[in-house]
Amino acid sequence: MVKLLLLPAVRLMGRLRFVWKFGLISSLFLLPLLVLGWGVVAKINQQMQQVASERQGLIALQDIYATIRVAEQYRDLSTITRASQDETLRHEVEAQKTQVDEQLAHLQLTLLSLNSEFLNKRFEDVQELWLTLHKNSSGAQGGVRTQFQYFDEFVQVLRGLIADAASASKLVLDPELETFLLINVFTQHLFHGTENMGIARAMGAYALNQKYLSSEIYEEMDKVYVGLGRDNEVISGSFAYIAETDPRLLKKLQADIDSSLTSMMSLQLYLSENIIEATELNIDWREYFQNVSGLMDGVYHLADILMPFTDKLLQQRQTKLEQKLFLMGIFTLGLLLFIFYLFAGMYYSVTRTVRQFSSDALRATQGDLTVVMQEETNDELRQLSAAFNHMIRNIREVVILVKGTSLDVVALSDTLSHTTDMSREAIKRQQQDTHDLTTEIESVAHSTEQIVQQTGSNTALAKDINEKSQQGLHKLEQALAAIQGLAKNIGDSSSNIQRLADIGKEIEGVLAGIKAIADQTNLLALNAAIEAARAGEAGRGFAVVADEVRNLASNTVNSTEEINDKISRFNACINEVVACMEKNQQSAQRTINSSDEVAHSLREIHQSAQDIQQSSLTIARDAQQQNAMTHNANQHILTIDHAVGQSMKVVDNVVRVSREFNSLTQQLSMLVGRFQVDGALELPAEESSDFAHMLQAANGDVSQPEGDVDLF
């Protein structure tokens, strides 16, 4: 099998010169190496491109955060203008609007460098929304919350650019855990904290300007207070996890991180003392606005230090990738040169040995059997040189042996004539023995035919039993399948009825809830009637409504009790049906078990019949083979008898051939004499014992070993 698989390769290599063989093998060997190296280089290059894209994304995120800061300032000042007619405040809003325009223009150039159509489309939406805010500078109609949400929509769209830019620049796909966690802080968690702080700044300043804390603003402040605590926990947890992963990573930034996180907690305390729990709103709204803005700047400072720090990490990774790429190129080039060097050495080693072998073989074919091929290498080519030298030695030994034994062949021919006479007598005795053996074989063939006939009858009977047992087994399996289907249907019906019972219990639970609601409603109606009675004439109408509610609750309770009673009767019926189904299923299972036992018995009968049939067929086949072998043996004996007659003629011819053989031996001695074997018939010292043994065997002095003599 292996030789067949290697045959195409052997034929191809046999048609090519060594230079083409080595060239083809080198190419096929180097191709996977080059492909693998190219794949590694492409992977490193892809990683470098990703790092470059991530660094560009960090620049975009810095500009987005800067734009959000001025946009939040514009939003909060615009919210306060709802309650203040201060001309100075309006000038501040206009100045802030100009800063937003400038920052948007700068941000557009940064986002274009990311080459993301989706990101450019999102920025167009941002510009369109900003133009809409310009057209309606007065804001939305409604309270302060509506006014804040109107301007906050633009800020929310800008915050959405953070995730879009991170996705477009593949920041969210960073493979290193520490860098990914840092990116996650300022792309997902940090702006939640600034969002809550912005709400606190706008709503608190509005309340201080009005000297009144409405329930709407109080509710917003309470949400901000809780949200700041949650944001602080999330961001602190992220930094704690990073510190556990690599304690040295954030060691230099720990002071700035603690300061930024403290800003959130400080704002919580500031809100609690001056807004949420304050008995009077005495603090000036501008002072409050500046203080909260300072705390927000502390949080934004965290983004300002994290992004350059992350960029530094990416830059270090990019430098490592460049070094890895350079080392990969040097290693690949050196490996290729080394492989070419080794292949060149192997090529020259093989071709030199082949040329030497060709030269020595040519001398041997010209009759020089003294040639010895030099064994200079230690590889398979040395085995070729050793085999060539061994072949020359064996040929030299054969020539010497033939020279020494050619005269003895004539004497052996006389012995051959005497041997042929003895063979003639032995062949005659063999012919008589063959005739007797033929008679005995014919008697055995007759007995074998009778056994074949009886075995055929037994086979037919076993086949009939086998067919009948097969039919019975098939019918029983059909009945068993029907009973099993019935049992499965009963089980499915029992499961469905049980589910109905479970649904009834669930309805009872729902009714209990409805009854509890009705009782509570009745109690509330009673309390309402009491309050209406206290109100006197003004609560009379409300008392009528309370009475109607109480009547409705009472009717609900009565209906619930009636439904509960009907469900109880329904569950009782269901339980009876389930019990009946279980009894039917048990009965069907017992029937299935009995049928399985009967089927098992029929299968055993069927298997026994098959065994009998198979045994009969085996006996018949063996008897037929024995009959055929007997017939063939008879034919072979006849053939041998004919061959014995022919052998008699052959023995007569052997005598004539032996005389001719003597003449040919003399001619062989003349031909062998043309080979050069060091000018003497003596063998080398190390080979004398072997050739002495072979010469003695040829002359009949020692016992000849069994089998052929392997001269080569």
Percent of the chain with pLDDT over 90: 14
Give the pLDDT band (50/70/90) at residue 156: very high
**d(C-alpha 119, C-alpha 116), whole Å:** 5
pLDDT per position as a tens digit, 583-640? 777 776 777 777 677 667 767 767 766 776 676 677 667 667 766 776 776 676 677 6
Average pLDDT, the chain: 77
Write down the pLDDT at residue 100.
Answer: 93
Write down the pLDDT at residue 683.
Answer: 43
Q: Is the pLDDT of residue 417 over 60?
A: no
Write down the pLDDT at residue 101.
Answer: 93
Query: Is the distance from CB of 483 to CB of 592 less than 8 angstroms?
Result: yes
Write down the pLDDT at residue 290.
Answer: 93
Among the ranges given (354-368, 623-637, 695-709), the one the predictor scored with the smallest mean pLDDT? 695-709
Q: Is the pLDDT of residue 554 over 60?
A: yes
Q: Is the pLDDT of residue 260 over 60?
A: yes
Write down the pLDDT at residue 688.
Answer: 44
Query: Is the distance from CB of 161 to CB of 234 less than 8 angstroms?
Result: no
Give the pLDDT band (50/70/90) at residue 142: low
Question: Going by C-beta distance under 8 Å and a sequence separation of 6 or more, which residues neighbour residue 135?
Answer: none
CA distances from 330 to 21, 246, 335, 343, 533 (A): 28, 33, 9, 20, 100
pLDDT per position as a tens digit, 484-499? 776 677 677 677 777 7
Give the pLDDT band (50/70/90) at residue 472: low
Write down the pLDDT at residue 201.
Answer: 92
Write down the pLDDT at residue 686.
Answer: 46
Structure-model confidence comparison of residues 281 and 454, the more confident one: 281
Give the pLDDT band (50/70/90) at residue 710: very low
Q: Is the pLDDT of residue 438 over 70?
A: no
Give the pLDDT band (50/70/90) at residue 121: very high
Q: Is the pLDDT of residue 204 over 80?
A: yes
Write down the pLDDT at residue 667.
Answer: 67
Structure-model confidence comparison of residues 413 and 352, the more confident one: 352
Among the ranges given (175-184, 289-298, 332-341, 444-453), the one the predictor scored with the smallest mean pLDDT? 444-453
pLDDT per position as a tens digit, 238-248? 888 888 888 88
Set out the domains of the chain in order of their start, with CATH numbers. Answer: 2-38+335-352 (no CATH), 49-173 (1.20.120), 174-317 (1.20.120), 409-672 (1.10.287)
Question: Going by C-beta distance under 8 Å and a sequence separation of 6 or more, which residues neighbour residue 174?
Answer: 54, 180, 183
pLDDT per position as a tens digit, 490-537? 677 677 777 777 777 777 777 788 778 878 888 887 888 787 788 777
**d(C-alpha 580, C-alpha 494), whole Å:** 9
**d(C-alpha 133, C-alpha 592), whole Å:** 81
Among the ranges given (146-150, 389-393, 469-473, 655-659), the one the predictor scored with the smallest mean pLDDT? 655-659
Give the pLDDT band (50/70/90) at residue 356: confident
Structure-model confidence comparison of residues 687 and 98, the more confident one: 98
Handedness of CA 675, 681, 683, 689 (dihedral sign): positive
Q: Which two tokens stand for residue 29?
A: 């060997």
Return the ∠ at Cα 584 (arms to 580 and 590), rounded to 5°. Answer: 145
Q: Is the pLDDT of residue 53 over 80?
A: yes
DSSP secondary structure letters along 55-113: HHHHHHHHHHHHHHHHHHHHHHHHHHTTT---HHHHHHHHHHHHHHHHHHHHHHHHHHT
Write down the pLDDT at residue 705.
Answer: 41
Give the pLDDT band (50/70/90) at residue 407: low
DSSP secondary structure letters along 177-225: HHHHHHHHIIIIIHHHHHHHHHHHHHHHHHHHHHT---HHHHHHHHHHH
